[in-house]
Structure 1
Amino acid sequence: MSDARYVSGLQLARLLGELPAERPFYAALAAGVRTLIRDGRLPLGVRLPAERDLASALSVSRTTVTSAYDSLREDGYVSSRQGAGSWTTLPPVTLSPLPATPSFTADPGPAMLPDAIDLGCAAPAAPAVFTEAVEAAVRELPRYTCVAGYEPAGLPVLRAAIADRYTQRGLPTRPEEIIVTTGGQQACDLLIRTLVGRGDSVMLERPTYPHVLTALRNRGARLVPVGVADGWDLDLVAAGMRQTAIRLGYFIPDFQNPTGHLMSEPDRIALVEAARAAQTQLISDETFSELGIDEPVPSPVAAYDTGGRVISVGSASKLFWGGLRIGWIRASVPLIRKLASAREPLDIASPVLEQLITAELFQRLEEVRAERSARLAASRDALVEALRTRLPDWRFTVPSGGMSLWVRLPSPVATAFCEVALRRGVRVVPGPVFGADGVLEDAVRVPYVLRPDVMREAVERMATAYAEAENLPAARSVPACV
C-alpha cells in the first residue's frame, strides 16, 4: 500500500452519496467506488473500510459489500492482502498507438493549425490601462538607475502596494511581510525548496496546479492528494493530515485551478484548524483571488490564522498580465528574510521595470478588476451556453469567478480527445495533467479567457473532436503548458 491513509465506513458512505436503487445493489456500490477513484475524490493507496463497517454505514448486508469489493478487485480498482485489508488502485492500461498524433508542448509549434484556438493556458491579454501603466513606470525608472537595482525582497513601493491590498481584504500586513518573486510559480518553487525535504509528506488537492506537482516531485516529496472535484471535504482533509504527518499543505482556495471552486469562509476556518491540530504549514495559492465575477472572495485564509501557519502566494499574471512575471509571498518576517537569502543564488531579484509596472497597476486595481470581470463573464456565459447546446452530456459547475470550467466527460477519453482536438484546431488540457497518479481521464479544463465568438467556435471544434475521440484508443502524450 502506498501510504498509511484510510477512509472510514461513514466517510466513504458520505462520499458515495445516494446510490442508484438498481439491482443487484453491489454493482451500483462498485460503480460508485470506481467513479470516486477515477475522478480523484478517493485517492489511490487509501485503505478501504472493513466490509462490516461499510455495510453498517450503508445499511446493507455484508455480503453486498463483499460482492462489490470482489467486483472492484476483478476490475483492478482494489487490491487486497491477507491481514492488511484492501486499498484503492488503478487497473493496468494497455495503450495502442494513435495514428500520426502530434505531441502537446509548451510551444504548440507547427502541430497547431494556422487558425487554431489555444485553450492550453488560462491567461488573458493585458488590460486596457496597461500601456498607461508602462509609460508611468518608465518615467519612474530613472529614480532607480543610480543604484545596482538588486532588491532580493522586492522594491519597497511594490511591497507596500501588495501589503496594502492584503490589509484591504481583511488581513493586516506590513511591507516587511512581503517578498516579490519572479512570478507566482517561482514563489511556490522557492517555498518548496525552503520548506520541503526529501520524503516529507505534502498534502495537495487533486486536481491541482501541474507545475507545483512537478516542483514537489523534483524535491522528492511524498504526495498525499485529497480530492476536490466536487469541492473540499474538510473532514477528509483533517483525517489525512492526522494520519500521514503532513509537513506542508498546498491549497488553492480562490477559484481553484482547475475546478473553479471557491472555498467558503467556514471551510477556510476548518482548514486552518486542521493544520493547527496536525502541526502542518499551509501554502494558500491566491493567484485568482481578484477574479470574482458573481460574488466576492472571502478574506485570505491567513486572516483566520493566529500562529503564522499560513503562507500566502499571489501573482500579477492573471489579473494584470502573464508577461510581467511578477509574484509574491506573504509570510512571517523571519521566513521572508530566509526566502530572500534563498533566492539570491537563483535570480538575485525580480526585474525593476516589471515591478514598477505592477505597482502602477495596483493603483488602477479596481478599474482592472471591473474590466476583467465583465470580459470573463461574457466569455464564460458564451462557453456555458455553447456547451449546453452542442455537448449536453458534458457536466460542469459554473464557477462564480476565475478563468476556467472543469468539465466532466461522459467517457474516460480525455487524453485521446485532446489529441484529436489539437488536430481539429483547438488545444485543450486533459484531466490527468492536473493529477498526481493517472486518474481524471474523464475531465478536461476549458479556460474562458478568449472572446465569446472564439469560445463558441472552440466548442464547435470540440464537439467534432469528441465524436471522433470516443472511437479511438487511449492517447499517451499530455500538454505541458497550463
Structure 2
Amino acid sequence: MTGSLTPTALARLLGQWHLGAAPAYRELADVVRLLVLDGRIPLGTALPSERTLSATLAVSRTTVTAAYAALRDQGFLSSGQGTRGRTCLPRTAGRSSGTDREGGAGLSGAPGLAVPDGVIDLAYASLPASGEVVHRAFAAALTELPALLPGFGYDALGVPALREAVAARYTAVGVPTSAAQILVTSGAQHALNIVLRALVARQDRVLVEHPTYPNALDAIRAAGGRMVPVALPPAPEAGWDIAATEAALLQQRPKMAYMVPDFHNPTGRLMPDSQRRRLVRAAAASGTILVADETLRELNLDGGTAAPLASFSPAVVSIGSLSKSHWAGMRTGWIRASEGMIQRFAAVRTTMDLGGPVVEQLAAAHLVRNLTEPLPGRLAALRESRSALLELLHGHLPQWQPERPDGGLAVWCRLPAPSSTALTVIAPELGIRLAAGPRFGVGGVFENHLRIPFTLPPDQLETAVLALRSAQDRLDAAPQLRRTLRDSPAVAIA
C-alpha cells in the first residue's frame, strides 16, 4: 500500500478540471485516470472519501460517487471497503490480437497496462508470433535440451549456439563478428539497461533522437542520465538532422548516444549510409559511444538499403532482438560489441541476473539461423495494413498528417492541434487505447503528434480509425476540454 491522498492534495493535482464540456463526473474521472496513468497518483493510493472530496471540490456527493464508479468500472480504482478505494490498473487475460506490451512503460508511463476485453490496443506496436515457425523452433529446442541438462544452466554470456548464430548473422551482412562479441539478453530493453548501467553514471549526458522510443527514455532516466535531445526534421524531409547531431555531439560531448537508425521508432525512417558515416565520425571525435537499436531492422517494407551502423566503426554497440520480427514472447535479445566491451557488459549483467532461460535461447538459435523464413509473409501483411491505415486516415481524418514510414510497425502522425493527451484520455471510452505523443519525447512535447501502429488487420484498423474520428469530433465540439487536459499537471512526463 502506498498511502492516501487528502482531499486538498487531490484538488491541487486536479487543477481546473471542470469546464462543463462533459458531465462533471466524467471530467473528474478522466483527469483522475490521467493522473494515475501518468504516475502522479501512485498505484495503491487511497483516494479521499466521497464526502470529504465533494466538500473540498464544492460539487455534489453524487458527482464524486459517479466518478469513482466510472473509475472502478474502467479498472482504475479498487472496490475497497466503504468509499476508500485504491488506485490500480486494469487487469484482464483478454487482449486484442496483434499487439504486445514490450515489457515496459506504456500509456502515459503506466507499466504493463492490461487491455480490457473489446478494447483495441494502439499503445504498443508489436506482432503476434510467427506461428508455425516459432512453434517448430521450440520443438527443436526441446530435442537439444538433454545435452545441456548436466550443466548448471547459468551462463551470463548466453548459450553458445545462439551466440554463434547471431555472430554469423552479423558476419553475413558485412559486420565480421565472433561469438565472443555477443552477449545474449532477455530482450532489447534488458540489453539497453545493461549497456546504460555499464556506461552511464548519474548526470552523464546521453544523446537521443527526438522523438524516440519511450522505454529507452525511461531507462535513461532510471540510470540517472541527462538527455540531450536532437530533433528529427519534420516530414516530408528525409532522414536525420545530422548537422544538428554533429553539433550536439561536439558541444555537449555526451557519454553515450542512443540511436534507432533502422526504421526509427516512431517515425519509421531509415538513415542513409551517408548520414551514418557522418554520425560515426562525429561520435568518434566527441568520445561518445554510439548504441544502435536494431530491433526493427528486419521490418523493411520498401526495400531500402543501408549498412548496419557497426559496419562503419568497430566501436559501435549494437542491440537486437527477435521481439519485432518473430515474437516478443521469446524475450530474447543480444548485444554486439568488442570483446572487451562484452566482458564489461557481462560483469554488469551478473548484478542483475545470472543468465537467460535455456530453452528460449535454443529456440532463438534456430530462428536466427533461419531469420528470413517468416518475413516475406509478415512484410506483405504489414504493407497491406500500412496502406489501409494511411487510406483510412486520409479518408476519415483529412486534417491529420501521417508520415509514410519506410519500415517498422507504426505511423507517426501530426495532429491539427496539440490534442494528443486529450485523445488518449478519451480513447478508452470509445474502445481504443493510445500512447500519447509526449511519451516519445523529453519535457512534455509532441502534444501535436500520435503514433498509430498498423499491426492489426485492415478491418480492425478501420474500427480504430472510426473511433479516433469520434474522439476528434468530441474535442472539436469542446476545445476547452483539450486545453484543460493538455495544460493539467497530470500530463507532465515523470
TM-score normalised over the length of structure 1: 0.77
Q: Tell me how far 1:356 sits from its aligned partner.
A: 1.0
1:116 counterpart (113, 116, 119): 119
Secondary structure of the corresponding residue to residue 365 of structure 1? coil
Q: Does the alignment pair 1:99 with 2:28? A: yes
Q: Partner of 2:258 in structure 1?
A: 250
Answer yes or no: is the 8 Å Cα contact 2:444–2:491 preserved in 1. Answer: no
Q: Partner of 1:206 in structure 2?
A: 210
CA 95–301 in structure 1, closer or farther in 2 if over 3 Å, else same: farther
Q: Partner of 2:413 in structure 1?
A: 407
Q: Does the alignment pair 1:382 with 2:388? A: yes
Q: Tell me how far 1:219 sits from its aligned partner.
A: 2.0
Equivalents in 1 of 2:263, 2:355: separation in Å? 29
Secondary structure of the corresponding residue to residue 347 of structure 1? coil
Q: Does the alignment pair 1:264 with 2:272? A: yes
Q: Partner of 1:391 in structure 2?
A: 397
Q: Partner of 1:78 in structure 2?
A: none
Equivalents in 2 of 1:335, 1:384: separation in Å? 43
Equivalents in 2 of 1:175, 1:95: separation in Å? 56
Q: Tell me how far 1:114 sits from its aligned partner.
A: 2.9
Equivalents in 1 of 2:137, 2:89: separation in Å? 29
Report Cα offsets for 1:412-451 as digits up to 9, x if no partner: 0100011111211111111100111111100011111111
Secondary structure of the corresponding residue to residue 292 of structure 1? coil
Read off the aligned partner of 1:252 and give its amino acid letter: V
Unaligned runs of 5+ in 1: 1-92
Q: Partner of 1:474 in structure 2?
A: 485
Answer yes or no: is the 8 Å Cα contact 2:443–2:492 preserved in 1. Answer: no
Secondary structure of the corresponding residue to residue 203 of structure 1? strand
Equivalents in 1 of 2:128, 2:402: separation in Å? 25
Q: Partner of 2:374 in structure 1?
A: 368
Percent identity of the aligned residues?
Answer: 40
Note the aligned Cα RMSD (angstroms). 2.1
1:303 counterpart (286, 305, 311): 311
CA 262–406 in structure 1, closer or farther in 2 if over 3 Å, else same: same
Equivalents in 2 of 1:432, 1:115: separation in Å? 26
Q: Does the alignment pair 1:435 with 2:355? A: no
Answer yes or no: is the 8 Å Cα contact 1:112–1:422 preserved in 2. Answer: no
Read off the aligned partner of 1:127 and give its amino acid letter: S
Answer yes or no: is the 8 Å Cα contact 1:250–1:283 preserved in 2. Answer: yes
Answer yes or no: is the 8 Å Cα contact 1:207–1:229 preserved in 2. Answer: no
Read off the aligned partner of 1:109 and give its amino acid letter: R
Equivalents in 2 of 1:324, 1:120: separation in Å? 20
Answer yes or no: is the 8 Å Cα contact 1:255–1:288 preserved in 2. Answer: yes
Q: Partner of 1:126 in structure 2?
A: 129
Answer yes or no: is the 8 Å Cα contact 1:183–1:328 preserved in 2. Answer: yes
Answer yes or no: is the 8 Å Cα contact 1:430–1:478 preserved in 2. Answer: no
| Greater alpha carbon shift after TM alignment, 331-340 vs 131-140 | 131-140
1:239 counterpart (235, 239, 247): 247
CA 218–114 in structure 1, closer or farther in 2 if over 3 Å, else same: closer
CA 479–240 in structure 1, closer or farther in 2 if over 3 Å, else same: closer
Q: Does the alignment pair 1:355 with 2:284? A: no
Q: Tell me how far 1:478 sits from its aligned partner.
A: 6.6
Q: Tell me how far 1:271 sits from its aligned partner.
A: 0.6
Equivalents in 1 of 2:442, 2:412: separation in Å? 17
Q: Partner of 1:320 in structure 2?
A: 326
| Greater alpha carbon shift after TM alignment, 402-411 vs 124-133 | 124-133
Equivalents in 1 of 2:393, 2:91: separation in Å? 28
Equivalents in 1 of 2:15, 2:255: separation in Å? 37
Q: Tell me how far 1:345 sits from its aligned partner.
A: 2.2
CA 455–268 in structure 1, closer or farther in 2 if over 3 Å, else same: same
Aligned length: 386
Matches within 5 A, 1:77-92: none
Equivalents in 2 of 1:478, 1:319: separation in Å? 33
Equivalents in 1 of 2:362, 2:492: separation in Å? 33
Q: Does the alignment pair 1:280 with 2:288? A: yes
CA 201–358 in structure 1, closer or farther in 2 if over 3 Å, else same: same
Q: Partner of 1:417 in structure 2?
A: 423
Answer yes or no: is the 8 Å Cα contact 1:317–1:325 preserved in 2. Answer: yes
CA 95–282 in structure 1, closer or farther in 2 if over 3 Å, else same: farther
CA 295–452 in structure 1, closer or farther in 2 if over 3 Å, else same: same
CA 434–108 in structure 1, closer or farther in 2 if over 3 Å, else same: farther
CA 362–429 in structure 1, closer or farther in 2 if over 3 Å, else same: same
Equivalents in 2 of 1:407, 1:425: separation in Å? 20
Equivalents in 1 of 2:291, 2:185: separation in Å? 15
Answer yes or no: is the 8 Å Cα contact 2:266–2:410 preserved in 1. Answer: yes
Answer yes or no: is the 8 Å Cα contact 2:181–2:336 preserved in 1. Answer: yes
Equivalents in 1 of 2:284, 2:351: separation in Å? 33
2:464 counterpart (455, 458, 466): 458
Q: Tell me how far 1:364 sits from its aligned partner.
A: 2.8
Report Cα offsets for 1:274-315 as digits up to 9, x if no partner: 11121211001111001101114411101011xx32100001
TM-score normalised over the length of structure 2: 0.75
CA 204–320 in structure 1, closer or farther in 2 if over 3 Å, else same: same
1:220 counterpart (203, 224, 228): 224
Q: Tell me how far 1:469 sits from its aligned partner.
A: 2.7
Matches within 5 A, 1:42-81: none
CA 229–186 in structure 1, closer or farther in 2 if over 3 Å, else same: farther
Answer yes or no: is the 8 Å Cα contact 2:90–2:116 preserved in 1. Answer: no
Q: Partner of 2:167 in structure 1?
A: 163
